[in-house]
Amino acid sequence: MKDKRALVKEELGKIIEKMDSAVDAALVEGRRDRKALRKMGFTKPVIDCSSLAGGEAAEKLLELGAKNVAMLTDYDFHGRSLCRDLTRALQMRGIRIKSLYRKKIKEIFAERNMKTIESMNKL
């Protein structure tokens, strides 16, 4: 029988796999978050938005031709605030935010008291 950590990793892996086929790119807060997504199997472009304003992130996504994006900022105050601000900036430029994946990952994280995307590296 699999241990709890393996089951959580498997569940997250399924979500990331579905996300990989449904979005054109993902936005994260930092390089460790990008590394965590790659480790979980995400193959699309991952944009580190920690040093970008909303308009800059949007321009980068538009250059890539991204129309559907997963917003995977952390689940702390700063991450939620960044998510809200970036969502507004991206939607104003016609980029759709696929919030389903953020919600599903949040549900799994909440059960484990995880708040950062990079915490997937520990699974």
**Contacts for 75 with CB less than 8 Å, ≥ 6 apart:** 106, 109, 110, 114, 115, 116
d(CA 27, CA 35): 12
pLDDT value for 50: 77
Residue 51 has pLDDT above 90, yes or no: no
Span 27-46, pLDDT tens digits: 999 999 999 999 999 999 99
Q: Give the chain's domains with CATH numbers.
A: 4-113 (3.40.1360.10)
- Strands (E) across the chain are located at 25-28, 46-48, 68-72, 96-97
pLDDT value for 54: 64
pLDDT value for 4: 84
Residue 91 has pLDDT above 70, yes or no: yes
Query: What's the mean pLDDT when you consider all of the chain?
Result: 92
Grouping H, G, I as helix, E, B as strand and the rest as coil, residue 12 is helix
This prediction has a pTM of 0.91
